[in-house]
Amino acid sequence: MSNSDVPQDSLKIYIDKALKLRFKSLCALQDRDMSTVATELIEVWVKQQESVQQQDK
């Protein structure tokens, strides 16, 4: 299943303006979409947290 087949939703977050500009610049340098990169980072974090939760059981 491609990403375009996955139902999507929006997420609004508040971060430091300087951090946002750094993130945006790095995404642009790599010709990557900020939403795609943010999704990848969130997926990594969620998997790590789920692993921690499983270890705590």
Question: In the chain, how many domains are there?
Answer: 1
| pLDDT number for residue 2 | 59
| pLDDT number for residue 42 | 98
Q: Tell me if 27 sits within 8 A of 37, measured CB to CB.
A: yes
Residue 9 lies in a domain: no
| pLDDT number for residue 57 | 78
Residue 3 lies in a domain: no
Residue 4 lies in a domain: no
Task: Tell me the residue range of the domain where 35 lies.
Answer: 15-56
Rounded average pLDDT per 10-residue block, the chain, 57 residues? 80 98 98 97 97 89
Listed in sequence order, the DSSP H helices in the chain are 17-29, 34-56
| pLDDT number for residue 41 | 98
What pTM does this model have? 0.83
Residue 8 lies in a domain: no
